[in-house]
Amino acid sequence: MSLDKKLQSPTTGRSGSGSLCQYKGWLYLHVEGEPYDRGWHHGFLLAAEIRSALDSISALLWQDTGLPFSWYAANARAMWLDRLAGDDQGRLADGSGRAAIEELRGIVDGANANRAADAAEITIDEILGWNGYPELICQWLPAVMSGALKPAVPVPGDPGRLEKIVASGRFSTVHHFHPHHCSAFIATGAWTGDGEIVAAHTTWQRFANGDFYNVVIHLVPPTGEGMPILMQSVPGYIASSMDFGLNAAGLVVTSTSISASGFDPEGLPYFFRARRAGQRAATIENWVELFRQGNNGGYANSWLLAEAPSRRIAAYELTKAHEELQPPLTSGAYCSCNIPLSVPIRVLDTGGSGYDNILESGGRRVRFDQLMAEHKGRIDASVARAILADHRDLYTCNDLPSGRTICGHIDVDPGNFGGGHAPYYPWGSLDGKVTTGAMARELSLQGRWGRACGTPFQASAFFARAPQYDWMRTLTRDRPSQPYCLFRAGGEPIGL
């Protein structure tokens, strides 16, 4: 199968390089060079997608919260621009904060260099707000709305508006938070077919903004700035956000979010800490050490970590108040479905997160246990893909795609059993990603865009069935059935 399209960014007067392959629903971006230059190539090649993503998130945040994206972006700048540019007052001795800002500035300038004459310029505020969206919406905004945190920048045009919202206690998170987000697992030793690691993940998200999560980035930094990385990402992002990536040391990182609260505006943003750790850590312990530095509580996750060379795996959770590293194993498995593995974090920070509730994420937790036991000793890339596509609903005891299955289909779930989501909400599995020890050593991964099971999504048919969500129609794309593809460092993607 040939590529749908391949683009090369201009190199005249520009160091580094960049190329973009469009293939089977994916955008495969290769960038290399110094921070600003690789950012410039990123921004230039994905300029249209970055603008579209910013337009979409602006519309969604307005509908979700009644507050403009410009306000979120201004607060992101106030919290993070100078802090990162100054390497957190010199505490980041490796210069990674300054490098992150240079890469972000490069993305802004590259996108502005490739724009129509009537298109507005993208700003550093917007790209910071976009990179920080997960932690702004999941931890920062709830802290602001609870009155626990005062934003650095007031709501424009109405200085007292935010105080009125806080005082009313009526702020709603119905559109931008569900108890179901992603499904993932890692396994090694006696649990896998060859004794090596296997890691797998499917992203769950609202389709209207999740449709932009179809980027795989191969990034090659200069010597001394860390290792090459391969990660699923978003146009304009410097971290993964969908949290599936690996580096040239064979360290694999994936995660699912947890509903912990708490936010420190004096800390370092999640997206920076995740990128720094992913690019510079060679071991599980090193990743944990780098990721926890400057913890701001933002975008709390259950992180699944695997080392291809040593065949070790572990799980790590970090909130504003607590952290716990599950024991590194050379034989075993860890599964993740938005329920903390740490009992203290689950009880103290997330209120239980539906551990026993098979109407919510508890169903996936139990189903993962069943599948790990069923496939113990045989788990490989093929089995991993099948696990991600699983539709066994433990509440109805049927093979029926729903909001309770590992491959999430909330858009076809009538919600008549509850489960924390509105009927037929356009949310669920967006993809499937898998890597093994052999693939990780070669900096490669397998990915399917669409759904983990391959079921297509047709936007027009969906909105005809669920007209209550018609306000998202212009923001939501078709996702036809696609095959898994192999993404290789230094090579073009190929179909499987």
Q: Out of 147-156, 256-265, 375-384, which region has the weakest mean confidence (pLDDT)?
A: 147-156
Q: Are 186 and 379 in contact (CB under 8 A)?
A: no
Contact predicate 42/24, CB 8 Å: no
In degrees and rounded to multiples of 5, residue 417 shows phi and psi of: -105, 5
Amino acid type, 268: L
Residue type, 238: I
Give this prediction's pTM.
Answer: 0.96
Cα torsion for 275, 279, 281, 285, to the nearest 10°?
A: 20
Instruction: Compute the average pLDDT of residues 358-380.
Output: 97
Domain range summary for the chain, segments of one domain joined by +: 14-167
User: What pLDDT is recorded for position 9?
Assistant: 84
C-alpha closest to that of 409 among 398, 397, 395, 424: 424
High-pLDDT (> 70) share of the chain, %: 97
Residue 160 has pLDDT above 80, yes or no: no
Q: How many CB atoms lie within 10 A of CB 150?
A: 12
- pLDDT bracket for residue 419 (50, 70, 90): confident
pLDDT grade for 172, boundaries at 50, 70 and 90: low
The answer, yes or no, to whether residue 165 has pLDDT greater than 80, is: no
Say whether 217 sits in a helix, a strand or coil: strand
Please report the sign of the dihedral spanned by the C-alpha atoms of residue 465, residue 471, residue 473, residue 475: negative
- Cβ atoms of 446 and 458 within 8 Å: the answer is no
| pLDDT over 70 at 448, yes or no | yes
CA distances from 44 to 103, 114, 185, 238 (A): 13, 6, 35, 14
The whole-angstrom distance between residue 83's C-alpha and the CA centroid of its chain comes to 23
- Categorize the per-residue pLDDT at 490 as very low, low, confident or very high, splitting at 50, 70 and 90: confident
Closest to 258 (Cα-Cα) out of 165, 351, 164, 367? 351
Of the candidates 308, 304, 256, 302, the one whose C-alpha atom is nearest the C-alpha of residue 282 is 308
pLDDT digits (tens, 9 = 90+) for 183-231: 999 999 999 999 999 999 999 999 999 999 999 999 999 999 999 999 9
Cβ within 8 Å of residue 64, ≥6 positions away: 137, 173, 175, 176
pLDDT score recorded for residue 176 = 54
Give which of 307, 195, 192 is closest to 247, Cα–Cα: 307
Q: Distance (Å, rounded) from C-alpha 171 to C-alpha 163?
A: 11
177: pLDDT strictly greater than 60 = no
Taking residues 441-456, report their average pLDDT: 98
Assess whether pLDDT exceeds 60 at residue 323. yes
Helix axes 69-85, 47-65, angle to 10 degrees: 120
